[in-house]
Each structure stands twice: as structure tokens, then as C-alpha cells.
Chains A and B, each alone.
Chain A
Amino acid sequence: MRLSRSEKWFYVINNTLLFIAGMSCLIPLLNLAAISLSEYEAVAAGRVGIWPVGFSLESYKMLIDGTPIMRTFRNSLVITGFGVLFSMLFTVLAAYPLSKGYFYARRFFTLGIVFTMLFGIQAIPAFLVNRALGIVDTYWALWLPGLVSAYNMLVLKSFFEQIPEEMNEAAQIDGSSEWRLLWQIVLPLSLPVLATLTLFYGVGYWNSFQSVLINIHDSSKFNLAVLVQNMVANQSLLQSLNNVQPQEADQMLTPESIRSAGIMVMLVPLLVVYPFLQKYFVKGVLIGAVKG
């Protein structure tokens, strides 16, 4: 197809603007990585762009030696791993019955769940429930109240409903139980949505911040989000780190480089899984968007 002059200009401007928008998402990350890997003088002088100036791993060494980042990283993994496992299991167990036309009171239960989306849960009554159950200061306070996201459940339910009923009937005539039907037919057919929800739950647990602030008071159980937030907001924490370390020129660090190293530790796992799950989530988002 031949393009007119005005169309050519349109495409050039359009693509340029989109390129700039895309770069606005990429450059801060490169800058962060570069600062975390650069030498003291370059960072202090603000000379670091998107490429490390004088490669140095000091800030990561400081992070590992001077802060509980390893333990916190492990905590984040535990919170995320088990959280996703529990959430996926119970989201499936919620969505499957509700997707069946012959399930008793399915309308009643669905409305009951949708209502909880409309009327948000308050931090303080929720905290009082956690305290009454004795789960404050354990990770159960993160896992149990977030067990089933009503939104994710509705996404999965509407996907299950799209699976042709004939498939279920055929399996039932062959004598398959509901459990086997779910496990051997419905779930394998739902892998794209399951992958999407795993991503959403995983990101949610990895990033969980407010729930940790409220429910976890024992600092040895903090996750990365809380530790990194402390490092960003709390100047004195970083200064105390600097006092511990020997003040030799090649081992000096700016608060910026420690901060950016901390953020990188939280960011890298996300960046690693993102490309693998990316192809699924567009589909998942759209199923959810069509109708709840």
C-alpha cells in the first residue's frame, strides 16, 4: 500500500511518541541498575546515566553483609510460594462449583461474593479478626485473608463456563467423578487462565506491603517490600550502614547505590518471570473484563 505524505508523517510521529513512552518505562530501570553497579565518585557526582560508570559490586556486598536482605528475600519467597499455592487451590475450588448450572444456590453464593467486592474490607476490623484468630505475626495473616480474590475467582468462573458442557457430560457418562472431571479435563483446558492468575497472585504476594505493615511486627519476618521501603524512606538506616563500613575510597557507598541495589533485588525476580507469563495475561485480563 502506498502512503501519502501526511500518512508518512503520522506514522513517524506516532512511532516516535510510542518509542518515548516505552523508553520512559525502560530508562529508569537501567538508571537504577547502573547506579547500583557504579563506583562511589560517579554516583556521588551524579554522573551515572543508563550505563554503569566503573563497575563495582560493593553496594550488593554491603546489602548482603549489613542488612538482613538475604533473610528478607527468603521470607518474600516463602510468602509468595505458599501464598500462590493456597490461593490458586481455593480459587479453583470456589470457581468450579459456581460455574456449574446444577450447583445449588449458585446465584446466592455468587451475589454474596460480588457484594464483598463492592463493600471494601476495613483495615481495622480485619486486623481485629486476625488478632482474635491468633495469626498476627505469622504468615497466615497474609495468606488466609487473601486466600481467594473475588475478582480472580470471577475471571476463572467465566472461563470454566466457556468450556463446552458436552465435554463434561461425556466424561460423566464415562463414570468420571466431579473431582476427576475438574482435575483431568477442566484444569488442563484452563492453563492460560491459570497461568494468568498465578502471575497476578504471585505479583500480589511478592509486592504485599500494607498487609505486612499491619500484621507482621517481628522484623525478622519482614518481606522485601517493607525492608526496601525502610531503605528508601529512612536516611538514618543507610547512614548507620555507612558508619559500619571501612571508609576506604574503593569501598565507599552513597545512599543512592544501596537504595538502588535494594530495589533491584526486589525487581529482578519480577523481570525474570515476566517474559514467560506475558503471553498469557492479555487473554486473562480480557476474560475478566468482558463480564464479572
Chain B
Amino acid sequence: MKTKERAIEGGGMSLAGPQANAAAVAGALRARSRSRFRRNVPLLMMFAPVIVFFIVFRYVPMLGNIIAFKHYNLMQGIWGSPWAGLDYYRMMFSNPQSIAIIRNTFILSLLKIVIGFPFPILIAVMLNEVRKAWFKRSVQTLLYLPHFFSWVIVGGIAVMLFGSQAGAVNAVIRYFGGEPVNFLYQTGSWLAIFFGSGIWKEAGFSAIIYLAAISSIDPSLYEAASIDGASKFKQIGYVTLPGIMPVMTLMLIISMGNVMEVGFDQVYNLQNAVVSDVSSVISTYIYTVGIQGGLYSMTTAMGLFEAVIGLVLVVGANRLAKLFDQALW
């Protein structure tokens, strides 16, 4: 088929008259659109299941958010259940417990970003200054590893290390003659463990992108700085950090877009009843009260509120990124 089309085009070119030429061009265009259609058939066959997937498992649940405005019950289903209007939002904003949960979600995730942000950069800058390849490789291998552990494992490790009875940290404290501390059952130390475990799990892996940015900095800048007598710290401050500034801005903006996402697994695996004042967040509330307790509409309203704030933040962050020529779309 392909050779036939080319023959038609070639034939058109060889004709002399302008009219005949125009007809040949139109014919060639038709042939091209026909050929484009033929090439699209297999592509559409590949893509059809993907379309079905995105409609059924991404867009239908989005529409399902409508139960936040309905008194959903099993018998009448999503469409049959009576409308509730903004009842659930009124309940949400007049209930001190749900306000506390929204506040926790916001504070935990914001602090997680602020506290966690510098560590990947620090690790990348430090790794970049290692001159022995084998040492750099081994440290990288170790630092990337926790990213692949689930929060069940990280939570388990945290309980083992900081648990009150036989935890390793308390064993060390006892060895030095101190009193064992219930680290996981005190708000302050729980928060430290919460943020610390997040950094431990992800900082190494997040450093990858900064390492790549650093490797694209022109080495002659370092040579020039070194000849001018800049110390290592000055070189980092005046060459490395400015060199990765765009990536830093981008990463900060992306993470600000995710402010409402503390993630279910981390909180669920680290929390306990004693610290629930600070550890209850929207995602864990949706699981315990919504899925387990069956209060579908109430918790969907809360989740929708979270998702909308999240969307606004992402879009706003992208706007901001455009100012720095770093927009994501």
C-alpha cells in the first residue's frame, strides 16, 4: 500500500499543467489522510482498553464524589439517594473534631515539606564532593534503599527502635544509666519520629534529581573558582547551589502543590491512640470512619474538600512556576 501512495505522489509531480498538479496535490492529501487513518487503526486498538480504564477507574470515581452532597445509602445507590446539599460541609465546619483533623492534615504535611526539603539537597551536594567512586556508589546504594520499603516496614523498624521495652534506643539509654522513654507515646518525640522517618525513607532517593542537576554544571566554573582561591564551602555556595537553583525552585513548587497529601500509610503505621490528637488526618479518618464505619457521604465530603484544596494548590504552584520558566504544563 505504501509504495502505491508514493507512486501517486511521484506521478503528480511529473505532470506539467497547473490544474493537473493541483488535482494531484489534492489526491496526495487525500491519500495521506487515508494513510494517517490506516496508521491510527492499530493505535486506537491499543489505546481502547486504556480509555476504558481511565473512564471506569479515574473519571467515574470523580463523579462518585457527588455522594458528598447526598445522603448516600446502600438501598437507593448513588443516583437514587436524596440530596443533602451542603449539609455535610456545615457539619464538618461546625464539628471541632473534624476541624482538628483538617488542621492536623495541613500542619503535618506543611511541616513535612519545610523540614524535609533541605535534606536531599544536602545529600546531593555532599555526594558530589566525594572523590572515591566506590565510596560514592556504596553510600548511594544504601541511601536509595529505604525508598523501596513500605511504611509497614519503616513503621515496624520505628517501633522496634523506639519502642519502650526492648527498643534499641532505650537499650542505649539504659546502658548509659538513663531512664527508658516512651518515645512513640509522647507528642513531641512522636512528631520527631514522624518527620525523621519521612526524611530517612525519602531524602536519599530525592537526591537523585539534584545530583543530575549538579552533574550538568560546567566543571570549568569549579576550576576557575578554585584558581581564584575559593574554599570548598565558597565553591558550594557560589557555584553548586546557584547551579541547581532552578531545580530547587521546581521541586519546592511541586511539593507545595502536594501540601494536603500526608499519605495514609505513613500516619496509619506510626500512629497510636495516645498521640491521636496530632496524628489524625483526613486520609486515616476516611478509612476508619468512612470505610470501616460506613459514613460514606460525610467522609467523602471531607476528602473532596482535601482534593479541591490540593487541586488549587497544584494549579497555583504551576502558575508560580511559570514565573520561573519551570511550569509543569
Interface residues of A (CB under 8 A from B): 6-7, 10-11, 14-15, 17-19, 21-26, 28-29, 31-32, 35, 43-44, 46-47, 90, 93-94, 96-98, 100, 102-104, 109, 112-114, 116, 118-129, 133, 144-145, 147-148, 172-173, 175, 177-179, 182, 203, 206-207, 209-210, 213-214, 225, 228-229, 232-233, 254, 256, 259-260, 262-263, 266-267, 270, 274-275, 278, 281-282, 285-286, 289, 291-292
Contact = CB atoms under 8 A, between A and B. Distances in A.
Contact of A28 (B43, B157, B208, B329): B157
Nearest to B283: A123
A26 B102 CA distance: 36
B54 interface: yes
List the 3 shortest-distance A-B pairs measured between CB atoms, nearest first.
A125-B64, A207-B150, A46-B171
Interface string B218-240: 00000000000001110000000
Contacts of B152: 207, 209, 225, 228-229, 232, 266
A119 B307 contact: yes
A94 B57 CA distance: 15
A128 B166 contact: no
A210 B287 contact: yes
Given A121-B61, A229-B155, A289 B49 contact: no
A129 B212 contact: no
27 contacts: A10-B232, A18-B139, A28-B157, A31-B160, A46-B166, A46-B168, A46-B170, A90-B49, A96-B46, A100-B43, A113-B54, A116-B59, A118-B314, A119-B307, A122-B61, A122-B64, A123-B287, A123-B290, A124-B67, A128-B61, A175-B2, A228-B156, A229-B156, A232-B159, A266-B152, A266-B153, A292-B328
A100 B39 CA distance: 10
A18 B208 contact: no
A109 B53 CA distance: 12
A116 B307 CA distance: 11
Nearest to B304: A122
B65 interface: yes
A291 B104 CA distance: 32
Contacts, number: 249
Interface stretch (B10-18, B23-31, B109-117, B130-138): B130-138
Nearest to B145: A25
Interface in B149-201: 149-153, 155-157, 159-161, 163, 165-168, 170-171, 174, 200
Nearest to A227: B152
A21 B37 CA distance: 56
Nearest to A145: B57
A122 B307 contact: yes
Interface residues of B, number: 92
A125 B57 contact: no
Nearest to A208: B150
B255 interface: no
A210 B265 CA distance: 7
B142 interface: yes
A225 B150 CA distance: 8
B56 A229 contact: no
B130 A118 contact: no
B50 interface: yes
A100 B43 CA distance: 9
Contacts of B36: 102
Nearest to A46: B171
A43 B287 contact: no
Contacts of A145: 57
Contact of B160 (A32, A124, A179, A182): A32
B299 interface: yes
A18 B127 CA distance: 8
Nearest to A225: B152
B160 to A, nearest CB: 6
A31 B161 CA distance: 9
A237 to B, nearest CB: 14
A123 B143 contact: no
Contacts of B61: 121-122, 125-126, 128-129
A74 B74 CA distance: 34
B46 A112 contact: no
A126 B314 CA distance: 22
A263 B56 CA distance: 35
B276 interface: no
Nearest to A224: B152
B76 to A, nearest CB: 13
A44 B299 CA distance: 43
Contact of B153 (A18, A35, A182, A267): A267
B296 A128 contact: yes
B288 to A, nearest CB: 10
Given A32-B157, A109-B47, A266-B152, A104 B57 contact: no
Among A116, A124, A144, A278, the most chain B Cβ lie within 10 Å of the Cβ of A124
B329 A114 contact: yes
